[in-house]
Amino acid sequence: DKAHIGVTGLAVMGRNLARNLARNGHRVAVHNRHRERTDELLELFGSEGEFVPSYSLRELVDSLERPRRVVVMVKAGGPTDAVLEELVPLLDEQDIVVDAGNANFEDTRRREAELAERGVRFVGAGVSGGEEGALHGPSIMPGGASSAYRDLEPTLRSIAADVEGTPCVTHVGPDGAGHFVKMVHNGIEYADMQLIAETYDLLRGVLGHTPAQSAETFRSFDRGRLNSYLIGITAEVLDHTDERTGRPFVDVVLDQAEQKGTGRWTVQNALELASPVSGIAEAVFARSLSGNTELRAAGSGLPGPRGARTPEREQFVADVEQALYASKIVAYAQGFDQIRAGSHAYGWEIDLASVAAIWRGGCIIRAKFLDRIRAAYEQNPGLASLLADEDFRQALSGAQESWRRVVATAAEFGLPTPGISSALAYYDTLRAERLPAALVQGQRDYFGAHTYRRTDVDGVFHTEWAGDRSEHEA
């Protein structure tokens, strides 16, 4: 009997995906560069379903029914190329290769085109949810040709997370669209985590909350509209006591946030697309700055505020909840704006409502909130910004006074809130009737004759700044 699907790369993500497939009744051929991993999988989990051990890619390919489906779950970049180089020559036309790693979408576009020339269908699929998600149901974001998706759909639906009977998987769009959307998912993940971290810092720095007290506050947030996986795990982490010292865990962890790079990619791409994802950028920079010991040492003696008035406790907690919610709306609005821009630039026609829908479960940013985003785009697929959706507009209108008080309090207390503050700046920028960008245009024209346009007359103009200051059409 041939296997239905194969998985190569049996580190924890690949292993759990293979187990998920087997547990859902698929016969899975499994392969790893080192045979011990394959044997270990069979030894530990062989009873969970039907596994076919393969000790070479040739064996893996030979054990599969046609068209063959091979999931590659190895490190992004060079290691993925190395596997493809060996695997693809063994395949036939119409076979499907799924790259389920965190690949850069530009690599996925290149690989998809290269494999298409040989008639092999390449599906770059974003998979989110960490180890647990891979095993119990991730959110899956496949790109590639729709014929490949049609072929994979029943299998993917059987292993994806499920929200009220709807599996968290959809065909995102052609070639690199799936990995692109996964990249932006991670950018949003960074922004969301940063906003939550700032909120914790405010509760502590302004109200003097202990980590355990903030855990309680986050639990109460989790019971409301902020309900999400990230808020839930935040409470767990804050409540955790370090075994070694008996101190709160957050107090013994080095305060230097690391990153593997998907957030950085998001911002790099946003710069290319001129999509202003300031919240994601602030989150990436906040991680970099936290790890920059040289800069932090240089700044450690700088003076802080000489005293600030502590706000009333309950009011401040309520304000912080509003500020976090409003900032979260902005972060997601920016992320979805980038997906819209990318979809347009690369010709993908991504349906934003279905992206929001498949993020409701399985992935790291899963949240109640995403159902509101889905509804917003379903109602109006051409929505220019989530901030313009009536529901979100109302939420922002209700939150804005609290949001301003929180940003002001943070400044008075000298607590850095780049995420929350930049989100408010974005909101106020979108709101503004006039922006000082007019002055910037004037400055550019002054020193470089870069020209400007006028509000009242069509055309491009320049003023003779060094001469008689007359204006003429450029």
Q: Enumerate the active-site residues.
A: 182, 189
CA–CA distance, 227 with 357 (Å, rounded to integer): 16
Asked if 104 touches ligand 6PG (CB under 6 A), the answer is no
By DSSP bridging, strand 162-163 and strand 139-142 are unpaired
Q: Is there a binding annotation on residue 46?
A: no
Smallest gap, in angstroms, from Cβ of residue 286 to ligand 6PG? 12
The beta-strand segments (E) located in 231-331 are none
CA–CA distance, 196 with 237 (Å, rounded to integer): 12
Cβ closest to ligand 6PG, residue 270 vs residue 364:
364
Question: Which residue of 124, 129, 142, 335 would you call a contact of ligand 6PG, by CB under 6 A?
Answer: 129
Smallest gap, in angstroms, from Cβ of residue 257 to ligand 6PG? 8
CA–CA distance, 398 with 400 (Å, rounded to integer): 6
Smallest gap, in angstroms, from Cβ of residue 299 to ligand 6PG? 24
Q: Is there a binding annotation on residue 129?
A: yes
- 178 by Cβ neighbours in 10 Å (0-12 / 13-18 / 19+) ranks as buried
**Vertex 231, ends 228 and 232: CA angle to 5°?**
85
Interface mask toward ligand 6PG for 418-437; x: CB under 6 A: --------------------
CA–CA distance, 441 with 452 (Å, rounded to integer): 6
Structure tokens at 397: 């209108």
**Vertex 91, ends 89 and 93: CA angle to 5°?**
115
Asked if 20 touches ligand 6PG (CB under 6 A), the answer is no
Question: Which residue of 35, 260, 444, 453 would you call a contact of ligand 6PG, by CB under 6 A?
Answer: 260
Cβ closest to ligand 6PG, residue 247 vs residue 260:
260
Question: Which residue of 99, 107, 175, 189 would you call a contact of ligand 6PG, by CB under 6 A?
Answer: 189
Ranges within 41-100 binding ligand 6PG (CB under 6 A):
none
Please report how the helices 278-290 and 313-346 are oriented relative to each other, as an axis angle in degrees rounded to 10: 110
Nearest-CB residue for ligand 6PG: 128
Of the candidate spans 76-84, 162-170, 260-268, 466-474, the one that interacts with ligand 6PG by CB under 6 A turns out to be 260-268
Asked if 16 touches ligand 6PG (CB under 6 A), the answer is no
- 188 by Cβ neighbours in 10 Å (0-12 / 13-18 / 19+) ranks as buried
Smallest gap, in angstroms, from Cβ of residue 166 to ligand 6PG? 19
Query: How far is residue 337 from each of residues 277, 291, 380, 384, measured CA to CA in Å?
Result: 8, 29, 14, 8
Smallest gap, in angstroms, from Cβ of residue 189 to ligand 6PG? 5
* Three-state DSSP class for residue 408: helix
DSSP 3-state percent helix, strand, coil across the chain (nearest 5): 60, 10, 30
Of the candidate spans 62-70, 124-132, 316-324, 440-448, the one that interacts with ligand 6PG by CB under 6 A turns out to be 124-132
Lateral strand order in the sheet of 5-8:
51-54, 28-31, 5-8, 69-72, 96-99, 121-128, 139-142
Structure tokens at 294: 């040289």
Interface mask toward ligand 6PG for 354-373; x: CB under 6 A: ---------xx---------
CA–CA distance, 474 with 471 (Å, rounded to integer): 9
Instruction: Give 123's strand partners.
Output: 98
Asked if 22 touches ligand 6PG (CB under 6 A), the answer is no
CA–CA distance, 61 with 83 (Å, rounded to integer): 13
Question: Which residue of 67, 77, 79, 130 would you call a contact of ligand 6PG, by CB under 6 A?
Answer: 130
Structure tokens at 88: 């693809």
- 409 by Cβ neighbours in 10 Å (0-12 / 13-18 / 19+) ranks as buried
Question: Which residue of 259, 268, 292, 441 would you call a contact of ligand 6PG, by CB under 6 A?
Answer: 259
Cβ closest to ligand 6PG, residue 107 vs residue 189:
189
Count of chain residues binding ligand 6PG (CB under 6 A): 12
Structure tokens at 222: 């989790």
Cβ closest to ligand 6PG, residue 262 vs residue 322:
262
Of the candidate spans 83-91, 128-136, 146-154, 197-205, the one that interacts with ligand 6PG by CB under 6 A turns out to be 128-136
Asked if 269 touches ligand 6PG (CB under 6 A), the answer is no
Smallest gap, in angstroms, from Cβ of residue 453 to ligand 6PG? 41
Instruction: Give 126's strand partners.
Output: 141
By DSSP bridging, strand 461-463 and strand 69-72 are unpaired
Cβ closest to ligand 6PG, residue 189 vs residue 198:
189
Positions at the binding site: 102, 128-130, 185-186, 190, 260, 287, 444, 450
Give residues in contact with ligand 6PG (CB under 6 A). 102, 128-130, 186, 189, 259-260, 262-263, 363-364
Positions at the binding site for substrate: 102, 128-130, 185-186, 190, 260, 287, 444, 450
